[in-house]
Amino acid sequence: MTGPALRLALEIDGDGAHPAAWRRAAHSPDQLLTPRRVAQVAAVAENAGFTLVTLDDGVLPPGASPDPVGRMGAVERAAFIAASTSTIGIAPVVPVTYAEPFHVSSQLASLDHISAGRAGWVVAEEEHPEAARAWGRPLIADAGARVRESQDGVEVARALWDSWEDDAVIRSVATSRYLDRERLHYIDFTGETYAVKGPAIVPRPPQGQLVVLGRPDRVPAAQLDVALVEGRDLASVGTAAAGADAPRVFAEVEVALDTPQVTASERVADLERHAPWRDRGRLRHIGSADQLVFVLAELSRHVDGVRLHPLVLDEDLPVLSRLVLPALSERRLVARPLPGTSLRSTLGLERPANRFAAAAVAAQEDVR
C-alpha cells in the first residue's frame, strides 16, 4: 500500500458481468458492436473518475446461444477509446497462449503511443481447446504449460519494449538518419516452444514499460505491475493480497447495485431466469451503493485498487457514477486521474529505465 487513494478499474466488455446482461441493457443488441457504444461507456467511466477500464477478449465468442455472441478485438476497441478519451487508463485483455508475443508487444506499444502513455495489459489465458483450432496451433491442454506460455509472453514483450532505447529515434535531416542503430538491440529470447530475436518494430512506449496486470498464480510477481487477486469475502481477499508480491494489488469485485426502479436482488433474480451468474471465486456485492462504499473502504485497508465487474453496465455504471465514486471521493479514498499523466504515474509506479541503456552505463562505469 502506498497511500490513501484507492484506484478503481472497470471492466466494460459486453453489456456486463452476467451472461444475460443484454436483456436489461438500455440499447438494442445490434448497437453493442459499434464504436459509438464503446466510446459512450468509456466516456462515462472517465467522467466518473475511474482510474482505468479493461476490456475482456479471447479468440472465441464470449457466450453461447440463445444469447447474442460476438465482440470486437480488445486492442482495436482500446485504440478507439484512446483516441476519444484523455485521462483514463486503457488495458485490453490479451492472451498469449497461442498469439505471437512479438505481434502482441507491437500492438500494445502502439496503443501506448496512441494513448500518450495510458495503456496497460491484462494477461490472460486461452483455456478452451477450440481456441487452439481457431488459431491453427497445437493444443496446450496442460495448465502448467499455459502458465509457461503466459510467463514467456510477458518476458518477451517486456524485452521487446526495451529493445529500442528512449533516444533511438534521432530524425537527423542533416545526415538523413532516422535511427541510431547502436541504440537498437536484439533480445535473443529462447523458450521451450519458440525463439525471438528482435528488435521490435515499434519505438519504446512512452511509459517505457506498459502497466502489466495479471493473476499472481499465472504470472510471476517480478513480471507484474498489478496483481489481480480474488476471494469470496474480505478476509480471503486480504489473505490473497498479503501473499501477492507485486508493486500494486487490485481486488476483483463483482457488483449488482440497487437502482431507483428495482433492487439489486430483483435484478439478479430476473437474469438468473435465463442463465446462471457463474461463480468465479470473487467477492460479490449485491445491494445498495452505501453498502458498496463500506466494502470498498474496508478493501482499501488491504489492496491498492479494485476492478469492478458490474452485473449490467447500463444499470450499474450510472449508480457507480452518481453515488459510489462521489462518496468515496468525499472520504478521500479515491483520486481522479490528472490530465497529462501516464497510467504508471496515476498508479504511483516509476517509469523503468531501459535495461540495455542501464547496462551500457554500468559497463562504462566498470571501465572507469
Tens-place pLDDT, residues 248-286 = 999 999 999 999 999 999 999 999 999 999 999 999 999
pLDDT on residue 62: 81
pLDDT on residue 68: 65
pLDDT on residue 70: 77
- % pLDDT > 70, the chain: 95
Rounded CA-CA distance 276/19 in Å is: 8
Indicate if the pLDDT at residue 329 is higher than 90. yes
Q: Give the number of other Cβ atoms within 10 Å of residue 175's Cβ.
A: 7
Indicate if the pLDDT at residue 170 is higher than 80. yes
Numbers of helices and strands, H then E, in the chain: 12, 13
Rounded CA-CA distance 67/76 in Å is: 23
Tens digit of each residue's pLDDT (9 = 90 or more) over 37-63: 999 999 999 999 999 999 999 888 887
Tens digit of each residue's pLDDT (9 = 90 or more) over 88-114: 999 999 999 999 999 999 999 999 999
Q: Quickly state the pLDDT bin for 2 (edges 50, 70, 90).
A: very low
Tens digit of each residue's pLDDT (9 = 90 or more) over 113-152: 999 999 999 999 999 889 999 999 999 989 999 999 999 9
Indicate if the pLDDT at residue 199 is higher than 80. yes
Cβ atoms of 338 and 114 closer than 8 Å = no
- % pLDDT > 90, the chain: 82
pLDDT on residue 337: 94
pLDDT on residue 92: 98
Cell representation of residue 52: 482505468
Tens digit of each residue's pLDDT (9 = 90 or more) over 219-255: 998 999 999 999 999 999 999 999 999 999 999 999 9
